[in-house]
Chains A and B, each alone.
Chain A
Amino acid sequence: MGGPEVDRLISLLAKLPGLGPRSARRAALRMLLAPEARMLPLAVALAEAARSVRPCGVCGNLDSRDPCSICADPERDASIVCVVEGVGDLWALERAHVHRGTYHVLGGTLSALAGTRPEDLNVAPLLARVGQGEVAEVILALGATVDGASTAHWLADRLRPLGVAISRVGQGVPVGGALDVLDDGTLAAALRGRRPA
């Protein structure tokens, strides 16, 4: 179409999540029409991020600093650790400004069918952190899927002997949602997770 360089660019873009071949072609064309403004700054940003961003040695977050800017922030309450499946979940919680403690990124959930086993998860640094006695509470913020729920169950079992408070994120009535449209499973979870008003 536009030579091997353009084909390669499109095929690399098309491998990114959320982009198919059609949207990759549109993105490539938009960049090629103004390479100075849209392409070279992107290339520089890509190279810099690839060179400097690494998983944080403490929590597993992606950052150009290690420990990451969340772990290094003195304003953060390091005694409350929120465990998430991936960095995307950490970003979601940060966007919502709902957690002022620190994080731990597991890097996946246990899945017997997909072959993800305990040794494939980033768990040792969390157990070490909790074992040092500086953590008072671990919040398990994993998804409400079969794998998320069984991972939370398994992790709670590993954390319990360390004497730390363990909590799980609530499940149930969504903010702004009505009860009569919820399915039975969600309603049961909401009732099970009720709290004093």
Chain B
Amino acid sequence: MVVFGPNGSGKTNLLEAVSLLVPGRGLRGARMAELSRFGGTDWAVAARFSANGEALDIGTGTAPEGGSDRRVFRLDGAAPRSQAEIGARVAAVWLTPQMDRLFQEGASGRRRFLDRLVFALEPTHARIVAAHDVAVAGRNRLLSEGQADPAWLAGLEDSIARHAVAATAARVGLVTRLNAASMEGATGGFPPARVGLVCPIADRLASAPALQVEDWLREALAAVRPTDAGTTSLGAHRADMTLEDAENALPAALASTGQQKALLIGVVLAHALLIARARGFAPLLLLDEPAVHLDAGRRAALFRALENIPAQVLLTGTDAETFLPLCDVAEGLEAGGGMLRLDARFMPPGPMSDAPEGLY
């Protein structure tokens, strides 16, 4: 599905709304208060998914009773037991123009990108990373206050060690499988990328059992307490992701903006196929302005790859013409004035659509 329209017509808002249908803070990482219309407090998004002939309704938004700072989910009209239940049924991965700077900025953005790829493979990864970060924040607080109880610190370091090893093992697993999928041609002709993990925990996991790595990390954290004043220098939060062109080994950090964008696209294409194979359903791909910075050859390769990918893809751009090569396989929607209008040059809407003609 292609959404086009002038700047400010709400294309990215639409992608963000879709990104909120999976657990997490969505495409912008926005806080709850930033999600409603200007002047309003409540919001909601609902969608019907169709996979293997079965329909699945997912909704999310502010709680009907209990204030606008609480977000609730609905799965087929009922409250799910946990957000992981939603994560077990749908996944989404996105690329936004802000990610064009992913390799110029700090490691946290790259880690978030990598973790989102892991969530799609293992929905419980989100909970493990969150628990790890709570333990790190607690340790930082105790260290910055000084005179911390050593046994309390050891308890928090035990939590950090257990969750850091579990999170790192999940990241390593994803990276290994992703690179293997890329090498097998999962990017459908688009130049493949190779993902790497810069992480001492991952290095140790390559040669030692997980429980042994936990013991090492526990001891190492205890040893660095005197120099860790208000920070934690070891853990899953210190990992970084690298990316290079699988064909010429050019690292993303040295590549041009367009080359970097192509590398990221290569990753999400391979990832979509990996998830489809591993879990039986592909993640939603939300590509905000994917064609910007891409040369004609890469653009054509992207469109060819998207034609064959098992995932549903939402693309945005300012001009319909850019996406005309996809007109036989994609619906085209023009955004503007708070509405979406079908563009007749593209494919007619699929059987799921029961919207009035010409208007979504």
Residues of A whose CB lies within 8 Å of any CB of B are: 20-22, 110-113, 118, 145-147, 149-154, 157-158, 183-185, 188, 192
Contact = CB atoms under 8 A, between A and B. Distances in A.
A118 B134 contact: no
A150 B166 contact: no
A150 B154 CA distance: 8
Given A112-B141, A112-B142, A188-B210, A149 B124 contact: no
Nearest to B134: A146
A148 B219 CA distance: 21
Given A150-B155, A154-B154, A183-B84, 5 more contacts: A110-B155, A146-B131, A153-B151, A157-B154, A158-B151
Q: Interface residues of B: mostly helix, strand, loop or mixed?
A: helix
A149 B159 contact: yes
- Which residue, of A118, A146, A184, A192, has the highest number of chain B Cβ atoms within 10 A? A146
Contacts of B169: 184
B159 A146 contact: yes
Interface of B: 65-66, 84, 122, 124, 127-128, 131, 134-135, 137-139, 141-142, 149, 151-152, 154-156, 158-159, 162-163, 166, 169-170, 210-211
Contacts of A149: 155, 158-159
B138 A111 contact: yes
Given A146-B138, A185-B124, A22 B65 contact: yes
B156 to A, nearest CB: 5
Nearest to A158: B151
Contacts of B141: 112-113
A147 B154 CA distance: 12
Contact of A183 (B66, B124, B138): B124
Contacts of B131: 145-146
A47 B346 CA distance: 73
A20 B66 contact: yes
Q: Across chains A and B, which 10 residue pairs bring their CB atoms closest together, nearest first?
A: A153-B155, A150-B155, A157-B151, A183-B124, A112-B138, A112-B141, A154-B151, A154-B152, A146-B135, A146-B159
A113 B137 contact: yes
A113 to B, nearest CB: 6
Contacts of A188: 166, 210
A154 B155 contact: yes
A51 B152 CA distance: 37
Contacts of A158: 151
A145 B66 CA distance: 25
A85 to B, nearest CB: 14
B82 to A, nearest CB: 11
B282 to A, nearest CB: 22
B134 A113 contact: yes
Contact of B152 (A113, A118, A145, A184): A118
A106 to B, nearest CB: 14
